[in-house]
Amino acid sequence: MRIGVIGTGTIGSLLTTGFAANPAHAVFVYNRTPAKAQALATGRPNVRVSRDARTLAGECECLFLCTKAADAKQVLAELAPVLTPAHVLLTTASALSLSYLEDVVPSKWVKVIPSLTQSVHSGVILVSYGRRCLSSDRLWIEELLRDLAQPFTVSEEQIRVASDLTSCGPAFLAFLVQQWAAAAARTGQLSDHEAETLLVQMLVGLAALLQNGHSLQDIVQRVAVPGGVTEAGLVSIGPAASELFDQLHQATQLYAQGSSIVAHLSG
């Protein structure tokens, strides 16, 4: 299949390399800074760099729009004269509403929210269909996305909270694990590095257990024997954990609604 990718940053690169691994696809890429697109094409015979966004839209009818939401408006202004109802545009920017996008151009629209986990052919890619997509479109789109990961269809209203889990989730969990390692190091018994190494190996084992069919509930029950040390630890974190994740979803929801409160982890 001929696939277009506009914007070859983190997500555009991830999609391009994922699709290019299937020799049945030809991937056409365009990026504002051409060197990035050129680097992706180097060594990948089925990745070609397009001269500009309009040329790319002439080369393929399936287009992934992988710029930040603010830049997407400019790309759309550029593409609008050449887009037709036959084009299917898949945007990775959750901030742009499907109804807004459908008003701007006559093409079919789909929101797709990838995750870094797709770089290792794992995880879930969220999909939300615009009203112009037919059930036949859904079939080929999901078949295409299965080259990258497991597609999971959600309504547009569900995208925010679902992408907290699938797309932001790896960063949230990795950050929590770093905090845990730091707390373990503060006991004075392990270095930060030792604690992080142990936790990472534990996580790899936990993922394998889940892959082998164990549920989260099953794992909790098997480790936390009544009256044991794990149960004591779970009781200590229970209420704080609920509050922590309530706060997290509230913060991302506020951000999505355009809250002016922007927090940075450092600096």
Ligand X SMILES: NC(=O)c1ccc[n+]([C@@H]2O[C@H](COP(=O)([O-])OP(=O)(O)OC[C@H]3O[C@@H](n4cnc5c(N)ncnc54)[C@H](OP(=O)(O)O)[C@@H]3O)[C@@H](O)[C@H]2O)c1
# residues near ligand X by CB under 6 A: 26
74: contact with ligand X by CB under 6 A: yes
Q: How far is the CB of 43 from ligand X (least distance, A)?
A: 19
The DSSP-derived string for 35-49 is HHHHHHHTT-TTEEE
Q: Is 123 within 8 Å of 115 (Cβ atoms)?
A: yes
16: contact with ligand X by CB under 6 A: no
89: contact with ligand X by CB under 6 A: no
In 16-104, which ranges are E strands?
Answer: 26-30, 47-49, 62-65, 88-91
**Chosen residue from 66, 124, 154, 184 binding ligand X by CB under 6 A:** 66
Supply φ then ψ for residue 189, to 5 degrees: -95, -20
Per-residue x/- track, 20-59, ligand X (CB under 6 A) = ----------xxxx--x----------------x------
Q: Is 130 within 8 Å of 101 (Cβ atoms)?
A: yes
Three-state DSSP at 101 gives: helix
* Closer residue to ligand X (CB): 116 or 234: 116
Region near ligand X per CB under 6 A, out of 5-13, 134-142, 202-210, 215-223:
5-13
The DSSP-derived string for 163-204 is HHHHTSHHHHHHHHHHHHHHHHHHTTSS-HHHHHHHHHHHHH
Region near ligand X per CB under 6 A, out of 62-70, 100-108, 191-199, 227-235:
62-70
68: contact with ligand X by CB under 6 A: yes
* Closer residue to ligand X (CB): 136 or 155: 155
**Chosen residue from 107, 162, 167, 196 binding ligand X by CB under 6 A:** 167
Q: Give the residues lining the site for ligand X (CB under 6 A).
A: 6-12, 30-33, 36, 53, 66-69, 71, 74-75, 92-93, 113-114, 116, 167
